[in-house]
Structure 1
Amino acid sequence: MVTPSPPIHQSTHRPISELSDLLCSVAAQDEEAFDELYRRCSRRVYGLVRKVVVDAELSADTTQEVFLALWQAGAARYDPHRGTAMAWILTIAHRKAIDKVRSEHAHRARDLRWSNKNQTVDYDHVSETILARDESAAVTESLKVLSALQREAIHLAFYTGLTYSEVAHHLGIPIPTAKTRIRDGIKRLSTCLQAS
């Protein structure tokens, strides 16, 4: 008695063909050909991209971009007389990987510039207030070493913002005298502040 052989299932999928034939079919928007092309080439494309891009997630994204480019009319540019289909696909993958690295580098540089431009510097208001108060107290204490005439001239020039001629007019003295009082007063203040 002869045992029947198991039934042979007819595959509805296209037979595995050469990559160049698959590319031609992909150029004609054949989805089955595209699936087969992806199945046969995606690992090699990803491997090449990963060597250039390094980051696994970016490499996966770039691999998808390669196949998207092939689907969107990229496959139509393939010329079998200029090289093998795999070499052509890997050339596209390499270019996309380089573009991804450049894009990421530019993106990081842009982010760094933005961050540097918009960075808020930590500012300790309490210590700054205390330092300003201490400096102000030191200057006020040092003003006591000045003569009454020097103190008045410096007060008018620095605390009220008058010019030399306005100080001279206000005090009823010649301009050179006003300049001398202010200059000598500043020297004495400087000496006093350096000593403290």
Structure 2
Amino acid sequence: MTTRQDIEDMINRVALNDRAAFEALYSATSAKLFGIILRVLKDRAASEDVLQDVYLRLWQGGAQTFATGRASPISWLATIARNRAIDRLRRVKPESNLDGVAEPRDPALGPEGLAVAASERAMIDACLDELQPDRATAVRGAYLDGDTYADLAARFDVPLNTMRTWLRRSLMSLKDCLSR
């Protein structure tokens, strides 16, 4: 198991252009970072591109900006990955349906998979409709559009902790609704 100290050491060695450390860092962290990026982008190919960009930037000097002991190294890497994914979302306007939420596209899905995905999407939409309109909009913004909690708090003119509470309670309501 890779420890926090191991990852810190790898990042510091990557800053010194240590190829072995870069390989070890990639092996230890790429799956987690890919998952974060994929949750934001919902597109495997785009997520792979962003993941490559994250590691390329680390290799080209980004690792030198890491402050040892200041932040968790995996949190630092996760923040970089999430921000790069959000940047990609903002750069590339996704195709969207009538309510403005991008439809996930997976070319690997066959007709049956598409039918199941459409059914699940309908269930999620129905459950989102049960939420208060501002809560549903906030959930869509945070989890489908990649908006930050701070952006949403500003948009709805509520304190950041209130926005966090809205989202947490909304997700709990969605979970209850989807389990019915």
Could you state the TM-score of these two structures normalised by the residue count of structure 1?
Answer: 0.45
| Greater RCO (CA < 8 Å, at least 6 residues apart) | 2
Could you state the TM-score of these two structures normalised by the residue count of structure 2?
Answer: 0.49
**The structure with more radius of gyration:** 1
